[in-house]
Structures are given as C-alpha cells and as structure tokens.
Amino acid sequence: MTVELLRAPTSQERLVLRPEWREQFALYGLETARDFLALPGVVVSGHVGRNVSRVEIGATVAYLKREHRVRKRDRLRNWRDGFGLTSLSTREARVLQYLELHDLPGPTWLAHGEAAGEAFLLVEESAGVDLRLLSPLEIADLAAPLGKLVAQLHADGVEQPDLFAKHFLLDAGQVTLLDWQRAKLRPLSWAQRCRAL
C-alpha cells in the first residue's frame, strides 16, 4: 500500500483550464496539456529543470512556467505539505486559486496540467513595477502597507517563504505577489509569522 501511495502518476495527461478561458484556448488550438507545453515563447527566467517563458495567446500576454521533468522529491514534498503527489505547477495553481477565493494578491491562473512527466502553469501577465526599481524613499513609504499585506496573508493561513523584493509588483497602489510554488496553506504560529516578516 505504501508503494502505491508513493508511485507518481506520470503517464496520465491532466489539464485544468480556467472556465472563462476554455473557448479562447480552443480558438488557438490549446486543447491538451501537450499543446500548452509546446507554446513558443521567450524564456525570461529559469532554474535547473524549470523555466518561465513570456508567451502570447492572441492579444493576451501570459507567462508559462514549465517543469521539464516533475521530480519525485517535489511530489513527495507537495504530498507532505498537503497538496497530494502533485507537480510544483499544480501546487502553485492551487495556491493561486486559494488566494483568489480570499481576495489576496496573486497573478491570475489560466491553466495548468501535466503530460509525459512534464508540467506547466500558465498565468496572466500582472501589471506593475518591480519593488527593486523603486527609490529608498518610495520603499520606506510602502513598509507599513506591505507589512499589513503579509499580516493578512498569515491571518488567512498562507505562508509564503519567498517574500523577496523581486516577487512584489506595484501598480497604482495595488500589490501583486509572484511565485507561489513553495507556499503553504495552514494556520501559522506567531513565531512563523514573525520569521516571515
């Protein structure tokens, strides 16, 4: 039974589409997970085995986060954290869905899926300026609002270990936080909240 539990579902193709985007994706021939994994784009960042590409679907700019191989250790870590034996892409999509339900700032997910041991998450482009590009005075003015935002995340049971300046986008007073693949959904102790700040 334990062996079955740890066996990762790699051969099965899975695709989850944001319902209101289903017809638009079909117009562009995006009907399977493999279709999304094959989208052409410009790589804007990456890690070993994963990268992020800027893609265009009609007039929409989006970012495709690809896992070139879903690692067993990632599946086990996701299982340990309560997400099941999923890819990082599916984990991040589930966190984004949770954020949306709780009116918290994350990018809009459009689709996620897996095929032949690869996985992806497609998110709509978020407007804003990278926090690192602001002046020290502007950043000082944002300290309290950003602290309140992080406190709200914690109050809603979201632990985001990647609260780096490069993950904050600011647009007309609105904040969007990027990169949620390591976030956890659970009640946080005061010690965990303080460590995150």
Does the pLDDT of residue 22 top 50, yes or no? yes
| Distances 38 to 14, 63, 68, 159, 177 between C-alpha atoms, Å | 15, 13, 11, 32, 27
- Is the pTM higher than 0.85? The answer reads yes
Go through 12-28 and write b for each residue having 16 or more CB atoms within 10 A of its CB, e for each that does not.
eeebbbbeebeeebeee
For residue range 40-86, what is the model confidence (pLDDT) as tens digits? 999 999 888 899 999 999 999 999 999 999 999 999 999 999 999 99
* Residue 40 pLDDT: 96
Q: What's residue 11's pLDDT?
A: 56
* Cα separation of the two ends of the chain: 41
What is d(CA 151, CA 145) in angstroms, rounded to the nearest whole number?
A: 10
Q: What is the DSSP letter of 59?
A: T
Listed residue (42, 48, 83) closest to 68, CA to CA: 48
User: Do 50 and 68 contact (CB within 8 A), yes or no?
Assistant: yes
**pLDDT given at position 1:** 33
Output 192 or 107, whichever has higher pLDDT. 107
pLDDT higher at 130 or 196:
130
**Average pLDDT over every residue of 98-117:** 96
C-alpha 81/C-alpha 94 separation (Å) is: 12
Q: What's the alpha-carbon Rg for the chain, to the nearest Å?
A: 17
Q: What mean pLDDT comes out for the span 86-95?
A: 97
The answer on pLDDT for 6 being more than 50 is: no
Averaged over 76-102, what is the pLDDT?
A: 96
User: Pick the residue with more confidence: 196 or 61?
Assistant: 61
Backbone φ and ψ for 178, nearest 5 degrees, come out as -105, 165
Per the prediction, the chain carries an average pLDDT of 90
Spatial contact of 133 and 169, defined as CB atoms under 8 Å apart: no
DSSP state of 19: G
Nearest to 120 by CA among 26, 191, 53, 45: 53
Q: Token pair for residue 12? A: 């099965």
